[in-house]
Amino acid sequence: MMTGGLSDTKPATPDVQHIVNQVKPQFESRVNRTYGIFQAIVYRTQVVAGINYFIKVQVSDTEYVHLRVFQSLPHENQGPSLVNFETGKTRDDPLTYF
């Protein structure tokens, strides 16, 4: 994968779910709502000065959100940060750059 380009879409892994779990409070705070379901489905990555994760997350039986999460380089010793999100998505919506 080249720097700056988005990877192919891949099924979510336990590591990606861990990132989603870490940014869930940031997301819920920004949308002023809590979610019982917050399950990572698929993801893409973009290598920058760290990694941007674009993650499709299921939040109800029929509702999905797309999250953009930045993970800094390991030596910076910082957790993931929610950069942006899109709500009102469906399972079939493609995961693209936003």
Q: Where are the alpha helices (DSSP H) in the chain?
A: 14-31
With H, G, I as helix, E, B as strand and everything else as coil, classify residue 88.
Answer: strand
Query: For 33, how many CA atoms within 13 A lie in the half-sphere containing its CB?
Result: 9
Across the range 1-11, mean pLDDT stands at 78
What is the pairing mode between strands 50-58 and 64-71? antiparallel
Q: What is the pLDDT of residue 4?
A: 67
* pLDDT tens per residue, range 54-90: 999 999 999 999 999 999 987 888 889 999 999 999 9
Q: Which fold has domain 10-89?
A: Nuclear Transport Factor 2; Chain: A, (3.10.450)
| Boundaries of every domain in the chain | 10-89
Contact 38, 21 (CB under 8 A): yes
* pLDDT tens per residue, range 13-63: 999 999 999 999 999 999 999 999 999 999 999 988 899 999 999 999 999
